[in-house]
């Protein structure tokens, strides 16, 4: 029974991981990222990755992460204590089994697609009610439907936009908002529409996805290809 207690508790930890993967996914995070970050927070390892910004910048995810970090520390203490007292007879195996059964049932219920959709809408609704605009991640503020697009367009050395102004590239009727131009450490806001673009500039734009891709297709495509090559290089290095 003593060994059974440890096995059951490990199953509880695994159930907590799966439950939180579902919760993080419902907040809009991709499943594979959710799983890695949940395990990282639970074990206290590997959380200092670039993807951790996705957790820190989201108010609901921050609360979930706080629980995971505390639960991970508690679980480590429980497992160490259980192993050190493996010969003790006062293990509450039956009570722990009830807890494990409850978590397994809860996990099965949360995997129901209809319930996931309702919870996802509830999470988003709670965020709109309780959190200030500046506390919300960009995805929830700007990307309210699939046609919206928020992108930083890098002007590369062979870009056809070099020497042109954004006022000359973008028509008044185009559904595009120019937020600013970043030139090195300088951010250009007031003269952003009339400033001639230079190689190395980064233009932050928000608007209709198809219109943005039509106006800056070459720059966006080149940037995406660069990202893909960078990821491939990382994979090859591993």
pLDDT single digits (tens) 5-31: 778 888 888 888 899 899 888 888 888
Residues 214, 125: Cα–Cα separation, whole Å: 33
pLDDT single digits (tens) 107-140: 888 888 888 888 887 776 665 555 554 555 666 6
pLDDT single digits (tens) 186-236: 999 999 999 999 999 999 998 888 888 888 888 888 877 777 776 666 556
Residues 95, 32: Cα–Cα separation, whole Å: 33
Burial letters 151-187, b for 16+ CB under 10 A, else e:
bebbbbeebebeeeebeebbeeeeebebeebbbeeee
226: tokens are 């660069």
- Is the pTM higher than 0.75? The answer reads no
CB atoms closer than 10 angstroms to residue 25: 17
Please give the angle made by the CA atoms of 146, 204 and 57, to the nearest 5 degrees. 70
Contacts 24+ apart (CB under 8 A), 24-28: 24/61, 24/64, 26/116, 26/119, 26/120, 26/123, 27/58, 27/60, 27/61, 27/120, 27/123, 28/139, 28/140
User: Domain residue spans in the chain?
Assistant: 2-130, 148-237
pLDDT single digits (tens) 147-175: 788 888 889 888 889 999 999 999 888 98
Strands 186-188 and 202-208, sheet pairing: unpaired
Q: Grade residue 75 by pLDDT with cuts at 50, 70 and 90.
A: confident
Q: Quick one: fold of 148-237?
A: Alpha-Beta Plaits (3.30.70)
Q: Which residues pair with 169 in a beta bridge?
A: none
């Amino acid at each position: 029974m003593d060994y059974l207690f440890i096995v059951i508790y490990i199953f509880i930890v695994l159930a907590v991981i799966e439950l939180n993967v579902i919760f993080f996914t419902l907040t809009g995070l991709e499943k594979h990222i959710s799983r890695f970050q949940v395990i990282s927070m639970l074990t206290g390892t590997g959380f200092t990755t670039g993807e951790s910004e996705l957790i820190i910048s989201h108010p609901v995810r921050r609360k979930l992460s706080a629980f995971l970090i505390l639960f991970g520390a508690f679980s480590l203490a429980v497992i160490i204590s259980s192993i050190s007292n493996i010969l003790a007879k006062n293990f509450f195996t039956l009570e722990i089994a009830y807890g494990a059964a409850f978590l397994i049932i809860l996990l099965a219920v949360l995997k129901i697609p209809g319930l996931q959709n309702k919870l996802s809408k509830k999470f988003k609704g709670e965020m709109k009610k309780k959190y200030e605009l500046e506390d919300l991640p960009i995805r929830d503020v700007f990307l309210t439907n699939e046609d919206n697009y928020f992108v930083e367009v890098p002007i590369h050395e062979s870009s056809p936009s070099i020497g042109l102004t954004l006022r000359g590239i973008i028509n008044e009727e185009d559904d595009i908002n120019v937020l600013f131009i970043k030139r090195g450490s300088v951010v250009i806001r007031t003269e952003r529409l009339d400033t001639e673009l230079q190689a190395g500039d980064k233009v932050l734009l928000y608007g209709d996805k198809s219109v943005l891709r039509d106006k800056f297709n070459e720059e966006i495509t080149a940037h995406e290809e660069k990202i893909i090559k960078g990821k491939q290089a990382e994979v090859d290095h591993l």
